[in-house]
Amino acid sequence: MATGFVLDPTAKRADDITSPGPDAGPLAGKRIGFRVDRMWRSWDWLSELWAEKFRAAGAEVSFWRSASRSGDEGERCEREYKAFLDSIDIAIVGLANCGSCTGWTVRDAITAANHGLPTTAIATKNFEVFSHEIAARGGRSGLRVHVLPYPLNENFKDDVLPVGEEYFPGLLKAMGASLMSKGKAA
């Protein structure tokens, strides 16, 4: 009789990083990078709103928009993303709002976290569990994930911006960030 092996697809990785990584800390003087994509207009609106708040706190903000991830364009995209990570102190990566978008959001967030950056992935509620599952499978079960309501992208800008205002304090908490510099308001 032959012996078979059954692999457990729920097994945890031996090299899993359960820590969320470093806190962002006071934001004044830091370079915050938003990774955006071509899919979610709501994420464009929210990241711009939050960027304004970070700038008002004394941070420098930049954006990097992902593109095709295969072939020559995918290789170019990968090089550009790594150069972007070299140019920032803190990464905010979104938007996990569908299956493949969640996969790429978490993958790019893991890349940023593995680069040593304080990193937060942004997901909508329907993709929260999936985001954590992909992070664990990618070896970063401790990845910071800030969760926004779902649906979001189906709404008009005037409906999305109040969500950004409401969820901004939670973003700061998820990032381990402060708008205050050492003892002074930014």
Convert the pLDDT of each residue in 29-63 to its tens digit. Answer: 999 999 999 889 999 999 999 999 999 999 999 99
Q: Rounded to an integer, what distance in angstroms lies between the CA atom of residue 68 and that of residue 43?
A: 18
The DSSP result for 19-80, as a single string, is: S-----EE-TT-EEEEEE-SS-HHHHHHHHHHHHHHHHTT-EEEEEE----SHHHHHHHHHH
Q: 183 pLDDT band (50/70/90 cuts)?
A: low
Convert the pLDDT of each residue in 90-149 to its tens digit. Answer: 999 999 999 999 999 999 999 999 999 999 999 999 999 999 999 999 999 999 999 999
**184 pLDDT exceeds 60?**
no
**11 pLDDT exceeds 80?**
no
Report residue 42 as tokens.
């709501």
Does the model's pTM come out above 0.75? yes
Q: Are 66 and 79 in contact (CB under 8 A)?
A: no
Q: Other CB atoms closer than 10 Å to residue 130's CB: what's the count? A: 16
Q: Is 72 exposed, middle or buried (0-12, 13-18, 19+ CB in 10 A)?
A: exposed
**9 pLDDT exceeds 70?**
no
**182 pLDDT exceeds 90?**
no
pLDDT of 4 reads: 81
